[in-house]
């Protein structure tokens, strides 16, 4: 892996961990407990997975880098920060809007990706633990 590829992968991993810690953790817990939210999240996760698969066929980046880029583009498109998205979603998880569900889908997909060693998911790890 070249230096640029390694740096891109590191930055993507770091951003996804930050998004998961600052935004996704609470929402994913609620989605696991609330069937309706869980079903909506499953649909958004499948849609994001399909988008990544289509884009991945044409782009030389890793799935993690594409996922981070997609998550960042969502925030840019709606002109919000992770903090603003978190404030908007807190206490309203069961009535999550499209953006909230898409960001949660990014977090769910990120958690299901293997860690650096390829031995398992990177659930619950901090950016400094790697």
Q: Is residue 94 part of a domain?
A: yes
Q: Is residue 55 part of a domain?
A: yes
Q: Is residue 124 part of a domain?
A: no
| Domain that residue 79 falls in | 10-112
For 68-124, the pLDDT digits (tens) are 999 999 999 999 999 999 999 999 999 999 999 999 999 999 999 887 544 444 434
What is the DSSP code string of 1-56?
--HHHHHHHHHHHHHHHHHIIIIIHHHHHHHHH-HHHHHHHHHHHHHHHHHHHHHH
Q: Is residue 74 part of a domain?
A: yes
For 3-46, the pLDDT digits (tens) are 878 899 999 999 999 999 999 999 999 999 999 999 999 999 99
Which pLDDT score is estimated for 3? 80
For 50-59, the pLDDT digits (tens) are 999 988 776 7
Q: Is residue 66 part of a domain?
A: yes
Q: Is residue 36 part of a domain?
A: yes
Q: Is residue 25 part of a domain?
A: yes
Q: Is residue 1 part of a domain?
A: no
DSSP 119: S
How many folded domains does the chain comprise? 1
């Amino acid at each position: 892996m070249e230096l640029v590829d390694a740096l891109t992968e590191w930055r993507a991993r770091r951003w996804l961990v930050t998004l998961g810690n600052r935004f996704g953790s609470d929402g994913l817990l609620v989605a696991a407990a609330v069937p309706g939210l869980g079903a909506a999240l499953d649909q958004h996760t499948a849609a994001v997975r399909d988008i990544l698969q289509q884009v991945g066929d044409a782009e030389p980046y890793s799935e993690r880098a594409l996922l981070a880029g997609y998550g960042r583009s969502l925030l840019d498109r709606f002109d919000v920060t992770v903090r603003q998205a978190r404030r908007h979603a807190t206490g309203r998880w069961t009535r999550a809007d499209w953006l909230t569900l898409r960001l949660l889908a990014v977090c769910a997909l990120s958690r299901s990706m293997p860690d650096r060693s390829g031995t398992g998911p990177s659930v619950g790890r901090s950016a400094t633990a790697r």
